[in-house]
Amino acid sequence: SDLLASELHDEPLLSLARNISQGASSLNSRIDELLDLARGEVGMLQLKLEPVDLLQLLRETGDSMRPLASSRGQSLTLDLPPSLPPVRADAARVQQVITNLLGNAFKFTPVAGSITLRAKEKDAALVVEVRDTGPGMSKEEQKRLFEPYRRLHREPSGGLGLGLALCKTLVELHGGQIWVRSNVGRGSTFGFSLPLEAADEQAVESEKPTKLWKVLIIEDDQEIVSFVSVAFQMRWPEAQLISSSLGEEGLELVETENPDLVILDLGLPDTSGFEVLRQIRLFSSVPVVILTVRADEADMVKGLEWGADDYVVKPFRQLELLARLKVQLRKQIPPGEEAPIICGSLRLDPSTYQLTYGGKEISLTIVEGRIMQYLMQNAGHVITHSRLAEAVWEEDHPGAVDSLRVYIRYLREKLEEDPSHPQLILTKVGIGYLLAKSV
């Protein structure tokens, strides 16, 4: 189209050629976003980490985007400190995140509106925020804002809704977090953090397993098996993966192969996944993670009651699945000499998740233990659903609130005199949970 434009002199045809060129460029950009998102989902998106002067990067990015703001009748302000420490990051990818967030702010901010780009050092991380004076958004709209293909109803046409999802993937690969704060009619603030320590090893090289993990996948959908296998082996390439499409054969493999982890689908062709789980628990304590399309709470509760260690609902994000599998694999590492956590009459051994309460020994599952550990470490403070989910699974996800509700119910049944009227683990409706300090 560029070559065509150079040969044309008729204004209508020139306009058409320019439109074709812009459309092709936009399409290429969307394809690149889609490919990057797919690579990130399976752990194949690699970062080129090096010391980065974030302050200089922010100034350059802001200055390059000022003309766009001016052309839209908006103002762009850089509210930056005199200095910031260097951070190990992929400069091009961080700039991609900043550009995406600024572009998003331009898109929703009206004429004569303002956008502010600011940064600071906080809690061993560098924090970058983009604040706008746009229409803002409701809490409901914010819940799934960072999921792929999610676009606001008032969003101008064009785009696939991948930009914010890709930002989330890139930030998490750096070991950081991304968030939004917004109220209807009061604008929005998008922010992300980059840890000052080295980024997660998965971004640079595959994480070396503490031992040679052996993982069994009992799943009849071969696309899912391949999907999980690729994701797992990108993270732990030395691990051994074995699979079976049948429940009966899977049971035999649990007994003969002695895997470190079992990923079990509930919808098997020859028998119920629940029955396979029940049979496994007759002879093995191997961690079992259920992978299924069944999203209702009743199935979740049944799976956990029958001995599952965790529950992942399809469709799922690879990062979510890997975080949950990593939690379960830690069970297989010999316990260290971690000091017990003591909170009033509660005493928790963080290496075994053995809890003592009022002189009574209580065994917790690893997920229950991680929930209890975080609540005890923050006793007397309200912990939001997202913070608790990140502490337990290392990532918040759409089903976190339902999952936490089930595990909190189990903890109350083990700890409370009257679980229906809890005095120890309190619910803060719509926010999260609080462990009473006077226990």
Tell me 378's DSSP state: T
Measured over the CA atoms of residue 416, residue 420, residue 424 and residue 427, the dihedral's sign is: positive
Q: Are residues 307 and 181 in the same domain?
A: no
Q: Are residues 308 and 362 in the same domain?
A: no
Q: Are residues 280 and 374 in the same domain?
A: no
315, 332, 349 - which closes a domain = 332
Q: Are residues 427 and 355 in the same domain?
A: yes
pTM score: 0.45
Beta strands in 32-124 (DSSP E): 50-52, 75-79, 87-89, 114-122
Q: Are residues 324 and 345 in the same domain?
A: no
Q: Are residues 252 and 189 in the same domain?
A: no
* Residue 209 backbone phi and psi in degrees, to 5: -70, 150
pLDDT, position 91 = 92
pLDDT, position 160 = 44
Q: How far apart are CA 93 and CA 114, in angstroms?
A: 25
* Residue 324 backbone phi and psi in degrees, to 5: -70, -40
Cβ contacts of residue 275 below 8 Å, gap of 6+?
Answer: 247
pLDDT, position 384 = 84
Contact predicate 369/377, CB 8 Å: no
304, 332, 360 - which closes a domain = 332
Across the chain, which has 439 residues, the per-10-residue mean pLDDT values are 51 55 47 52 66 94 92 95 92 93 93 96 92 93 78 51 83 87 94 73 41 86 83 73 94 93 92 93 90 71 84 75 78 61 86 85 88 88 83 68 86 90 88 80
Q: Are residues 303 and 366 in the same domain?
A: no
pLDDT, position 313 = 80
* Residue 262 backbone phi and psi in degrees, to 5: -120, 130
Q: Are residues 177 and 66 in the same domain?
A: yes
Q: Are residues 224 and 310 in the same domain?
A: yes
pLDDT, position 397 = 59
Q: Are residues 261 and 178 in the same domain?
A: no
332, 365, 390 - which closes a domain = 332
Q: CA angle, 310 as apex, 435 and 292 as ends, to 5°?
A: 135
Q: Are residues 94 and 189 in the same domain?
A: yes
Both tokens of 243, joined, read 């699979």
Beta strands in 133-285 (DSSP E): 178-182, 188-195, 214-218, 240-244, 261-265
pLDDT, position 47 = 77
Both tokens of 373, joined, read 């550990």
Q: Are residues 161 and 66 in the same domain?
A: yes
Instruction: Kindly report the CATH number assigned to the domain that includes residue 403.
Output: 1.10.10.10
Split into its structural domains, the chain has a count of 4
Instruction: Kindly report the CATH number assigned to the domain that includes residue 236.
Output: 3.40.50.2300
- The sheet that has 425-428: what strands, in order across it? 383-384, 432-435, 425-428
What domain range is 22 assigned to?
1-45
Instruction: Kindly report the CATH number assigned to the domain that includes residue 67.
Output: 3.30.565.10
pLDDT, position 190 = 97
